[in-house]
A and B are shown apart, each in its own frame.
Chain A
Amino acid sequence: MSSIPLQPFLILALILFCIGLFGALTKRNTIIVLICIELMLNAVNVNLVAFSKYGAHPDITGQVFSLFSITIAAAEVAVGMAILIAWYRRKHSVNIDDGNDLKG
């Protein structure tokens, strides 16, 4: 059942995290930045599930933790989307460079 070692999963998660980090740092559209953050959270979830199988103490806890992480990510997207729509209603822009002031 476990013919693949731990490293390929960790390297896959690392590559996805790097893609998400690069996108979050360089993209100008705020929705794309949110998507990139989701990608980074997904990479972390892959790490959690991989360690739940191949860790020093293989246990179901890693999967449970990733479920909590997915839930918090969903809440984060909902709040982020609400902030984005409220912000778009004022500024009529989704460009992240336009969001450089706190005043409404």
Chain B
Amino acid sequence: MNGEFLAFLILSGTAILGGILMINLKKVVHMLLSVVLTFVSLAGIYVLLSAEFVAVVQILIYSGAITILLTFGIMLTDHKAEEDRVSSRIRAALAGLGVIIFFFTVYAGIRNLYFGPGAETLHADNTRKVGESIFSHYVIPFELVSIVLLVALMGAVVLTRRREGEDQ
């Protein structure tokens, strides 16, 4: 057991812990904060996978922007709502059974997967490589993504705008 494997164990443990807490906690804000634990742990996992730029973007976008957005959503709606877990137990059991079947199906597929020893040089000049790849090979998708973001922003503004004559 070396340090990298230890780091992977801790990070994946906290990631899964955040997910399980999210399922089991009762208050909505607590659920959101526990899923932030998962997001930050996944940023560490990205560093282990020699994707430093994606790790920084993960922290900025997921545990920064999306969490703030969801927090505002919770605060603007019914922030005192609690989950009642007893309402649909048979439905939860059926969903759990389906998810477990799905888990073992995919696990049988990835159990013996092996492609090679892995890339050794991805971590060197990571951000430069990402930038060169985006701005040379993927320029058109990059610009399309900017249009998608603009349309999503305008759509969000239009959807939440209070129209004339609408009751409170």
Binding site for B on A (CB under 8 A): 1-12, 14-16, 18-23, 25-29, 31-32, 34-36, 38-39, 42, 45-46, 49-50, 52-56, 58-61, 63-64, 66-68, 70-79, 81-86, 88-89, 92-95
Contacts and interface: CB of A to CB of B under 8 A. Distances in A.
A10 B62 contact: no
Nearest to A1: B120
A72 B152 CA distance: 9
A12 B15 contact: yes
15 contacts: A3-B5, A8-B8, A10-B110, A11-B107, A26-B92, A39-B19, A42-B39, A50-B49, A52-B49, A64-B138, A66-B51, A70-B61, A70-B62, A71-B148, A74-B65
B96 A22 contact: yes
A59 to B, nearest CB: 8
A84 B48 CA distance: 36
B73 A25 contact: no
A84 B51 CA distance: 34
Given A86-B159, A89-B168, 7 more contacts: A1-B123, A18-B103, A25-B99, A49-B54, A54-B115, A81-B73, A81-B156
Interface residues of B, number: 88
B138 to A, nearest CB: 6
Given A31-B74, A39-B19, A68-B145, A61 B110 contact: no
Contacts of A79: 152, 155-156, 159
Given A29-B83, A54-B116, A64-B130, A85 B77 contact: yes
Contact of B20 (A4, A19, A36, A72): A19
Contacts of B28: 29, 31-32
Contact of A19 (B22, B120, B162): B22
A-B CB proximity, top 3 nearest: A58-B119, A75-B152, A82-B156
B54 A67 contact: yes
B95 interface: yes
B35 A49 contact: no
B50 A1 contact: yes
A65 B113 CA distance: 21
